[in-house]
Structure 1
Amino acid sequence: MPKAPRKSSQEGRGTGSGDERTQLLRRIAELEEREAHARYIVQAVGVSIWEEDFSRVMEELRGQGIRDVRAHCAAHPGFALRMLELVRVVSVNDASLRMFRASKQEELLSSLHHVILPESLAVFIEELAALLEGRPFFQTESVVQTLDGQRLEVLFSFAWDAVTGRVDRVLVTLMDIGERKAAERALQESEARFRNMADHAPVMMWVTDTQGRCTYLNRQWYDFTGQTEEMGLGFGWLSAVHPEDARLAQAIFLEANVRRASFRLDYRLRRADGEYRWAIDAAAPRFGPGGEFLGYIGSVIDITERRRREELLRFLVETGATLASSLDYATTLSTLARLAVPRLADWCLVDLLEDGSVRRVEVVVADASDEPLVERVRGFPARLDGNSHHPPTKALLEGRPVLLPEMPPESLPWHAHDEEHARLMAVVRPVSLIAVPLVAHGRTLGVISFISTSRSGRHYGAEELSAAEELARRAALSLDNARLYRDAQRAVRLRDEFLSVASHELKTPLTPLALKLQMLVREVEAQRDSPIFQRMLGHLEVSLRQVRKLSELVNDLLDVTRISSGQLRLEGEEVDLAALVREVVARFQPQAERVGCSLSLEVDGPVMGQWDRPRLEQVVSKLLSNAIKYGAGHPVSIRVEAAGARALLVVRDQGIGIEPHTLPLIFRKFERGVSERHYGGLGLGLYVTHQIVQAMGGTISAQSTPGQGATFTVELPLPRAPRAP
């Protein structure tokens, strides 16, 4: 069997070499494809990419043995520029042409001098240092310029191939960050403007992040609280809030922070001098363009003076209401002093001017431990002949308020009446004082003094002086009213005493006069045959009527004095109101006939009750007398009935009536429904009637239409019916 021909070694090598060549060509094609793809990416990317040759630069650095290029450049200012001339730009991408306003690559492949600015040399020096130190990459911000001289802000990236060790070939990327830097500058300028505005704002301001941590406090906060940034930022600001308010303030703030809601709260804030001041803290949430929560911006305002004004206003309102609630002279003085302590003063002194001398009538102190000093202080009132520098005396003499914002210990002898007074003032330890005269209707009644001591440390100013003046004005009017009321009460008592005495004195001769007239009537009636019988009888009847009228007036005066003094007495007994009214109507029948009135009585049956018979008869007589008097020539109707638990007496006339504006007043003392020139009277009858009815547990009312008469209705309580067993 013949053998297959053997391949020659040359033939085998040829075939093997062909495979290797094919693989090599395929590898080269892949590399070319990758390079093309990389070049496409380099050209398509929007970042400026430069390939630079630093071989000549490295030769120069090594040749000179330079190890610290930064120090060398600092010692030789022109060295960096000379090194820049040795750098050769190998290639740039299309983005570089667009960025640097070049029309073709050749314009950028020359020296870097036309794109590097003096202030960007520091970046080039750092690039040289990275090459010498073996750092394959670094990045920083820099500035360059375009071929037409436009300045560009760029993010500069420097890299060389550390794998192959080719430090002479460098890849540099430049990203235009001009818009970002402009936005950053705008933001910085905005923040700077905000900080400048906030630092010059008349209020304290603050800013927080999303977690509620304070990131900014303005200068006013630090000036007010004495805190530093390290102390105040974060949640450190709470350490300046009063311990009693801090926990609540933090809780309200954090709760609002969770809800992203506005808030407002009051708390006491410690000032740099240690004094706590009331402040109002208000803030609103901040949101970004997309609605994202950014934190809060808020303000803190010292409202101590405003709160003080509001408290003073409330104090004056309460004071006015309290002072107006009493017309008692002593109560007004005591109330006046006690209202001021401790809200306005630690001590309050009231001096009154009476009969040319001054008397200290009230001393009130806030601290109980000062009570032992009260009587001693009472002994040093204002004195018309005393030290004119003594504040209460000065206010009294000059008729205007005295304000002492400061009273240092060394000034006390100057303000005291004598040495003993100065020693007492030193014990009281005043630090500030206001003395205001009490003036009403141009008359000085006294002076009120408000003293602040070292216990409270309060210092008076314009606000307190204004409040003290207003209090003194109201107090003076109240005091004057109380004095007038006291004088009026004294005058009323004197009048009532006079009326009582006068009534008794008038009644004394009226009784025997009435008896004498009645005797004369009987004697004249016995002489009916006498030619002067009728004439004498008429004169006597007129005289008796006038005496009875005068007796009624005197009795009204006596009743008024009894009512005013609380001496009106009632004796209850079983009375038939219907029978009593029937008797009174019969007695008034002649009088009614004389003036042309007809009396009609409507009674269903007995109306029994427990009343004072004489006084009840007085009520019926007064109402019937008025009906006949003001309804002359017209009929008068009287009705008596029991209506449930009340007895009713209704008297109606058809006379002149009562004007609407007068109707509510007719049951008052000395009030009249008509002119006294036409009808006479003292204006006491209905007042006494009203008081009697009221004393018996009843009521009386009136209804009237002018020209159509008046109706008076008396309601009296009836005894309760016994319960069935």
Structure 2
Amino acid sequence: MPKAPRKTPEGRRGARSDDDRAALLRRLAELEEREAHARHIVQRVGVSIWEEDFSGVQELLLELRRQGVRDVRAWCSAHPDFVLEAVRRVRVLGVNDATLRMFGASSQEEMLGSLERILLPDTLKVFVEQMVTLAEGRPFLQSESVALTLDGRRLEVLFTFSWDAVVGRADRVLVTLMDIGERKAAERALQESEARFRNMADHAPVMMWVTEPDGRCTYLNRQWYAFTGQTEETGLGFGWLDAVHPEDAAPSRAIFVDANARRAPFRLDYRLRRTDGEYRWAIDSAAPRFGPGGEFLGYIGSVIDITERRRREELQRFLAEAGTALASTLDYGTTLSTLARLAVPTLADWCLVDLLEEDGSVHRVEVSSADPADGALVEQLRRFPARPNGNPEHPPTKAILEGRPVLLPEIPPERFSSHVHDEEHARMIAATGPISLISVPLLARGRTLGALTFVTTARSGRHYGAVELEAAEDLARRAALSVDNARLYRDAQRAVRLRDEFLSIASHELKTPLTPLVLKLRVLWREIEARCEPSLAQRLLGHLEVSRRQVKRLSELVDGLLDVSHLSAGRLRLEREAVDLSELAREVSARFQEESERSESPLRLVTGGPVVGQWDRLRLEQVVSNLLSNALKYGGGHPVSIRVEDTGERARLVVRDEGIGIEPDVLPRIFHKFERGVSERHYGGLGLGLYVTQQVLQAMGGTISAESTPGQGATFTVELPRVPAADAP
């Protein structure tokens, strides 16, 4: 078998060379395909892409380095012509279609020669930064800038500049421009909106704040800084809590953190330190902010100083409490003492009450202090009331003399002497340490009754203003009305006592001549019957009967006045015994039989047997007589009924007439003194019968009530316990 020919070294190399050449061709084809694909992408992408040759610029920079220039930025700033020369050395190798659309070019050729036309001063600043990037060997730069389109429109763009700094050649630089006009417009709108918000917030009448989602405060308006004295450095973040009262800071933070975690609105009250060191009550309320997608952005809130509002509410509660105290008694001394104690410490640290007496002098009726240790000083201050002939600048004296309030928001120690009566008084005032004062007159019905003085000290640190003055004047009006009512009541009581004394004396004096007059009439009656002929006796006895009835009526009126005087003086005595109410009603009805016939009002008695109780017979007769007398008087010729009932432990007496009745507006008053249901001109009387009846029944533990319909008569119902209570008289 013949042998195969041997391969020579040259043959092996030739075969390998063909393989390498084929592989290289394939690699080149792949690269061309990738480049074509990349160029296709570059052309289709929406970002402006420039391929530029910065070799000429690189040569200028190398020349600067040889000249010893190290700070390219400073050199360009000092030599603007150098920058323009560098711009001219840039060669644009190509741009994509997005660039043509962005700058309004019709072709690559139009765009390639237009580099200087699209530059603005701000664009040159970015170009300088590109040269600095080349000089420092950095591969990438990104910056915002502006450019001009070929038709003169201004573009806001984001520049990127990249080159192969490793190789060090700048002949292939890639520059991209992204149109950020809409984004910048949105940012400017947002900035403008934020600026408007800040301007509005800084001029708002309340403190305002804004937080991030994590709860950190990023904005506090001017009012916050003016109120608290904080700065941005001390107030932002969670520094605002440093201005909150130490006792309120932790609870306030807890409420805020909890609301922030729940993304919920919240509202809280706390004491906020003002720049002068005073803590003021504030209300802090906030609502969460959410973005377009519902994402939580934080809070926006407001803080309002509510100290004055809380103060008004506190003073209103105090005035309501004081009003109740003032209305609780007619003893104005007790009332004013209670008032002074109530005013401390709600309204004052010291409260002084001065009353003007009828002789023109002033009496200090009360001094109250918030500190129990001031007992000795309280007694000393009682010796320095208002003095109409003293220092007219003494606040209580001035309030009484001028009839208008005195407000001293500040009382510097050096001014004490101008407000006191003498040196001893000045020492007393200095010992109290006043810092603010209100003195208001007590005015009622055009008269000045005295003055109320309220003083604050360093103990509370409060200073009086319009709110406290308004409350003090309101309190003074109520106190003056209470004092005036108490004095009127005292005068009325004195007048009532004088009237009752007069009635008692007058009644006794009238009773004295009535007794012998009744006796003389009886004697005269018998003499006429014995000595005169029948015709003359009949005429004389008729006249005598009229006189006897008038004397009886006068005697009843005097008895009524005596009863009233006894009731007013508390001298009504009861003589209790076993009394049958049925029998008593029968006896009284019999005595009224003649009057019943004369008034043509039939009298009917209804009883169900004996009804016995422990009563005062004479007083019970008086009750039944008064009720029957009224029923016959107002019965108007209609029947009158009297009914006695046994209801077990109580007895009931009912007297009814069918006469004119009682008007509804009069009915509630008929048991009052000197009240009557009809005109006295037609029916006479003093209006005392029902009053005396009610008082007698009450003394025996009973009651009386009345029901009536006008034109249909009236019904009076008496209820009496048959056995008196253990403590009954």
TM bucket, shorter chain: over 0.9
| Displacement of 1:480 | 1.1
- Select which of 219, 228, 250 maps to 1:225: 228
Q: What corresponds to 1:723 in structure 2?
A: none
CA distance in 1, matches of 2:620, 2:391: 68
Q: What corresponds to 2:548 in structure 1?
A: 544
1:392·1:447 contact (CA, 8 Å) conserved in 2? yes
1:425 aligns with 2:429: yes
| Displacement of 1:120 | 2.2
Residues 549/233 of structure 1: CA separation in 2 closer, same or farther (3 Å cut): same
CA distance in 1, matches of 2:275, 2:172: 64
> What amino acid maps onto 1:129 in structure 2?
V
| Displacement of 1:360 | 2.1
Residues 285/644 of structure 1: CA separation in 2 closer, same or farther (3 Å cut): farther
1:332·1:482 contact (CA, 8 Å) conserved in 2? no
CA distance in 1, matches of 2:308, 2:433: 25
Per the normalisation by structure 1, the TM-score is 0.93
1:340·1:348 contact (CA, 8 Å) conserved in 2? yes
Query: Match of 2:160, SS?
Result: strand
Pairing of 1:440-455 with structure 2 (within 5 A): 440-455=444-459
1:245-289 superposed Cα distances (whole Å, 9 cap, x missing partner): 222222332333233332222221101111111112122221212
- Select which of 92, 107, 110 maps to 2:95: 92
1:58·1:168 contact (CA, 8 Å) conserved in 2? no
Q: What corresponds to 2:482 in structure 1?
A: 478
Gap runs ≥5 in structure 2: 725-729
1:46 aligns with 2:50: no
1:396·1:437 contact (CA, 8 Å) conserved in 2? yes
1:697 aligns with 2:701: yes
Residues 395/62 of structure 1: CA separation in 2 closer, same or farther (3 Å cut): closer
- Select which of 127, 130, 134 maps to 2:130: 127
Q: What corresponds to 2:152 in structure 1?
A: 149
1:84·1:111 contact (CA, 8 Å) conserved in 2? no
1:497-528 superposed Cα distances (whole Å, 9 cap, x missing partner): 22122222222333343344334444545558
- Select which of 318, 321, 325 maps to 1:322: 325
CA distance in 1, matches of 2:171, 2:552: 146
Stretch moving more, 512-521 or 609-618: 512-521
Q: What corresponds to 2:61 in structure 1?
A: 61
Moved >4 Å (runs of 4+): 2-18, 162-165, 522-531
Query: Match of 2:275, SS?
Result: coil
1:454-513 superposed Cα distances (whole Å, 9 cap, x missing partner): 333332233333332232222222211111100001111111122122222222333343
> What amino acid maps onto 2:470 in structure 1?
S
> What amino acid maps onto 2:390 in structure 1?
G
Stretch moving more, 530-539 or 622-631: 530-539
Query: Match of 1:301, SS?
Result: strand
CA distance in 2, matches of 1:352, 1:504: 42
| Displacement of 1:313 | 3.5
| Displacement of 1:623 | 0.6
Residues 555/226 of structure 1: CA separation in 2 closer, same or farther (3 Å cut): same
| Displacement of 1:562 | 2.4
Residues 550/225 of structure 1: CA separation in 2 closer, same or farther (3 Å cut): same
2:76·2:83 contact (CA, 8 Å) conserved in 1? yes
CA distance in 1, matches of 2:152, 2:332: 96
CA distance in 2, matches of 1:62, 1:472: 95
- Select which of 371, 377, 382 maps to 1:373: 377
Q: What corresponds to 2:115 in structure 1?
A: 112
| Displacement of 1:654 | 1.9
- Select which of 491, 495, 515 maps to 1:491: 495
Q: What corresponds to 2:677 in structure 1?
A: 673
Per the normalisation by structure 2, the TM-score is 0.93
CA distance in 2, matches of 1:370, 1:582: 74
2:521·2:544 contact (CA, 8 Å) conserved in 1? yes
1:280·1:303 contact (CA, 8 Å) conserved in 2? yes
1:183-202 superposed Cα distances (whole Å, 9 cap, x missing partner): 11221122122112212222
1:175 aligns with 2:173: no
CA distance in 1, matches of 2:125, 2:598: 135
1:47·1:95 contact (CA, 8 Å) conserved in 2? yes
1:329·1:486 contact (CA, 8 Å) conserved in 2? no
Stretch moving more, 560-569 or 161-170: 161-170
| Displacement of 1:637 | 1.3
Q: What corresponds to 2:567 in structure 1?
A: 563
> What amino acid maps onto 1:72 in structure 2?
W
Query: Match of 1:449, SS?
Result: strand
2:55·2:169 contact (CA, 8 Å) conserved in 1? no
Q: What corresponds to 2:727 in structure 1?
A: none
Stretch moving more, 614-623 or 447-456: 447-456
Query: Match of 1:167, SS?
Result: coil
CA distance in 1, matches of 2:227, 2:109: 66
Residues 111/586 of structure 1: CA separation in 2 closer, same or farther (3 Å cut): closer
Residues 542/250 of structure 1: CA separation in 2 closer, same or farther (3 Å cut): same
| Displacement of 1:12 | 6.6
Q: Percent identity?
A: 74
Q: What corresponds to 2:27 in structure 1?
A: 27
Gap runs ≥5 in structure 1: 721-725
CA distance in 1, matches of 2:147, 2:340: 83
1:287-334 superposed Cα distances (whole Å, 9 cap, x missing partner): 212222211111111222233333333333433333233222322332
1:161 aligns with 2:182: no
1:49-82 superposed Cα distances (whole Å, 9 cap, x missing partner): 1111122222333345255422432443321221
| Displacement of 1:115 | 2.1
Q: What corresponds to 1:510 in structure 2?
A: 514
- Select which of 278, 298, 302 maps to 1:299: 302
Query: Match of 2:346, SS?
Result: coil
> What amino acid maps onto 1:333 in structure 2?
L
Residues 72/351 of structure 1: CA separation in 2 closer, same or farther (3 Å cut): closer
CA distance in 1, matches of 2:231, 2:584: 98
CA distance in 1, matches of 2:652, 2:292: 84
CA distance in 2, matches of 1:163, 1:350: 97
- Select which of 233, 252, 255 maps to 2:255: 252
CA distance in 2, matches of 1:100, 1:488: 105
Q: What corresponds to 1:656 in structure 2?
A: 660
Stretch moving more, 35-44 or 297-306: 297-306
1:217-270 superposed Cα distances (whole Å, 9 cap, x missing partner): 111111111112222112221111112222222233233323333222222110
Stretch moving more, 66-75 or 696-705: 66-75
- Select which of 70, 73, 81 maps to 2:84: 81
Q: What corresponds to 2:687 in structure 1?
A: 683
Stretch moving more, 148-157 or 305-314: 305-314
Stretch moving more, 661-670 or 363-372: 363-372
2:702·2:718 contact (CA, 8 Å) conserved in 1? yes
Pairing of 1:612-627 with structure 2 (within 5 A): 612-627=616-631
